[in-house]
Structure 1
Amino acid sequence: MYLITVEGGDGSGKGLATQMIAEILHQEFTFSGIDVTAEPRRDAELGLLAVEAVRTGDAGPVREAVYFAADRMDHSHTWIRPRLSQGHAVVSERNVHSSLVYQGVVGDLGVEEVANMNAAAMIPDLCIWVDCDPEMALNRISDGTLKLSISSRTDDTEYFETDEFQVKIRQGYHDLLGGGVPIPAPFNRGRVVGPIINDGTKEDFRRKLQIEIRKFLHERPLPLNVFPEEVEMHMLVSALASQKGQTTLDVLSSKPARSNRDWLAGEKPWEVVRDASKLYLDAVRCEDAPPRMDVPQDPLSHPVLSILGTLSLLPATEISELRNWLGPVRMVTERHTHRMVKFFDEQSDWVRIHRPMIGHDASRTELRPDWQAFGRVGLVIWPFKEALSEWKRTHPNSSWKHALGAVIASNLEAAESCLSRLSILGSGKAELSPPSNQEELIIWWQEGVV
């Protein structure tokens, strides 16, 4: 879903940063996959042309820039974007900012010309700029370990190892990523953080990277290269496909079995939301206990719909597997996931936690059949969750029956997303087709039928 790039001069620690970022993403966040790559590619013909152009210097600045841009276009559309659309995070050691610095700022082409050459490439959502003391960088470049790494990939003369050139490159990064030279469109849409100074221990460096990754992802920014709904459709299809066509989710001791087709259980969607909202708020505001400040006050909040919606797609599951199926759109931190599951079990009795009596197996969490409908309805109305919450806040005495009809006209794109979700999840009644237009969507919400 996000393209994260690592930039900086040679010897600054880009390779180490790339590895650390991938580890942080895997350990702390719920992407469906973490892919690591680098540019130029040394396993692709176009990338090898770019490498050879730098090594020999025979191509000239324009052709050299074209080779890098051609490799980047192919990389973007045949390798990076397909992974982003599946909910992966892609971490790239070097990307378009390298070309902007090397050929645009330090070279003679100018950043606008280089940006035009690369205009159809993926835009880095987050560019992490790493830097270190120039003398330290040059020592790393001349160090045997780095030279061995370089020589194993290609002739080391491709890397500009002169002191003078490295100083120019470092200044070029400071000019471009530090704001002295404006980043041209469309690449000015991405976020740049840094310089992150790599002059201490590996632990210090990792901590600095971790802070920036957390800050970026906890804001849940819109991705620049794919639509979140495209990612979510893939995640929903994959989750249902993982059940291998099961019509029920009758594992462990759930009775009656939760249905993959009749998940409305004869109820109307607005009634499902009304009843679940009241029970949730009663649990949060329980008179026999202090108000719960560690869970959301809104039953249509992101964490509530994320966790209950995902559990409605799965049989009993361990927390680690639940987090895998959240994906990047429904992402919730691990700590908050545990907190919410505990609340649903102890306060609202919406989930059942199966704790093994012996052995070292992890506990498994299962959504109770009574709440299957709310989990699935929550996934359907996800695109309207904020609008519906705001409507209810400003119309506390109005019926939920009229809520969707009141907000749907303000966001027709969200309505189309709801219809797409229903086409995957079904109408909630096995014998009925899902709604196919805005009018039918409102009827489905109010009556449960089309």
Structure 2
Amino acid sequence: MTPPRGRFITLEGGEGSGKSTQARLLAEALSRRGLDVVRTREPGGSEGAELVRQILLSGAAEPFGTDVEALLFAAARGDHVDQLILPALATGHWVICDRFVDSTRVYQGAVGKVDIRLLRALERVVASAAVPDLTLILDLPPEVGLARAAVRGRGAVADRFEREGIAFHTAVREAFLAIAQTDPVRCKVIDASGEAETVAERVWDEVEGRLGAALSPAGAR
């Protein structure tokens, strides 16, 4: 008997908004419910995609422009979707992903000015079979997020996107909020200010409100 498809939840937001922390806390909460959970990230998540991640976040691709960055993100995403996300969903696992297509729409599209027709074509090729059931957009003023990121990465070299200025990150925030307005059924904006546990409660409320019927192994079936 083929198991029912799992659920796919993505977390989005600007630098320092707490996506990785909230992905971990949500995965732990779902696991306590007896659900099988896979936690992953983009760029990355599969062997091939992790190699591309190193190129992208190091800034090595930046001189070639945002069109090339978009192509590299798509290449990484294609491997990630095929090698990890779809197989996990097919076996009934819940997949929690730190960033997905919305990040490309924001960073390379809205802010980087890559033609939306190119981005949509790439999405159709690499991610049409992996549409999130729920996208949680963690919202935080960019100056707060950048301060958090600086503390988190103390002693480390800032990545390709953390090095951008406040105007860039303000545009990123506005673009994520615009996506939420355009697709309110899939996307839910979460106030990411405050302690991680407080934000986790807000996240859980949204997950329970949207996917509550599936929040048990029996319900998922």
Please tell me the TM-score bracket, short chain as reference: 0.7 to 0.9
1:124 to 112, 116, 132: 132
Q: Distance in 2 between matches of 1:219 and 1:52?
A: 41
Q: Deviations over 1:200-258 (max 9, x none)?
A: 223321211111111111255xxxxxxxxxxxxxxxxxxxxxxxxxxxxxxxxxxxxxx
Does the C-alpha gap of structure 1 residues 42 and 48 become closer, same or farther in structure 2, counting only changes over 3 Å? farther
The residue number in structure 1 matching 2:161 is 159
Residues 13, 131 of structure 1: 8 Å contact kept: no
- Larger relative CO (CA 8 A, sep 6+): 1 or 2? 2
Determine what percentage of the aligned residue pairs are the same residue: 28
Does the C-alpha gap of structure 1 residues 201 and 48 become closer, same or farther in structure 2, counting only changes over 3 Å? same
Query: Pairwise mapping of residues 419-438 of structure 1 onto structure 2 (< 5 A)?
Result: none
Task: Find the structure with the greater CA-based Rg.
Answer: 1
The residue number in structure 1 matching 2:79 is 74
The residue number in structure 2 matching 1:19 is 24
The residue identity in structure 1 corresponding to 2:144 is: M
Q: Deviations over 1:127-175 (max 9, x none)?
A: 01101122211211222x3345xx3xxx524233322221121111122
The residue number in structure 2 matching 1:38 is 41
The residue number in structure 2 matching 1:142 is 150
Q: Deviations over 1:259-303 (max 9, x none)?
A: xxxxxxxxxxxxxxxxxxxxxxxxxxxxxxxxxxxxxxxxxxxxx
Q: Which segments of structure 1 move beyond 3 Å, counting only runs of 4 or more?
A: none
Q: Distance in 2 between matches of 1:88 and 1:327?
A: 13
Residues 105, 176 of structure 1: 8 Å contact kept: no
Query: Pairwise mapping of residues 381-420 of structure 1 onto structure 2 (< 5 A)?
Result: none
Instruction: Calculate the TM-score normalised by the size of structure 2.
Output: 0.85
Structure 2 gap segments, 5+ residues each = 1-5
Query: Pairwise mapping of residues 47-446 of structure 1 onto structure 2 (< 5 A)?
Result: 47-54=50-57, 55-56=59-60, 57-119=62-124, 120-121=126-127, 122-143=130-151, 145-147=152-154, 151=156, 155-161=157-163, 162-179=165-182, 191-194=186-189, 196-220=190-214, 326=218, 328-329=220-221
Residues 146, 162 of structure 2: 8 Å contact kept: no
Report the Cα offset of residue 47 of structure 1. Answer: 3.9
The residue number in structure 2 matching 1:421 is none
Q: Deviations over 1:40-97 (max 9, x none)?
A: 1176334433542451212322221111111111111111111111110010000111
- Alignment RMSD (CA, Å): 2.4
Q: Distance in 1 between matches of 2:30 and 2:96?
A: 10
Local SS of the residue matching 2:94: strand
Q: Distance in 1 between matches of 2:114 and 2:131?
A: 20
Q: Deviations over 1:384-441 (max 9, x none)?
A: xxxxxxxxxxxxxxxxxxxxxxxxxxxxxxxxxxxxxxxxxxxxxxxxxxxxxxxxxx
The residue identity in structure 2 corresponding to 1:191 is: R
Local SS of the residue matching 2:14: coil
Instruction: Calculate the TM-score normalised by the size of structure 1.
Output: 0.43
Residues 15, 142 of structure 2: 8 Å contact kept: no
Q: Deviations over 1:83-129 (max 9, x none)?
A: 11111001000011100111111111133421211213111111011
The residue identity in structure 1 corresponding to 2:168 is: F
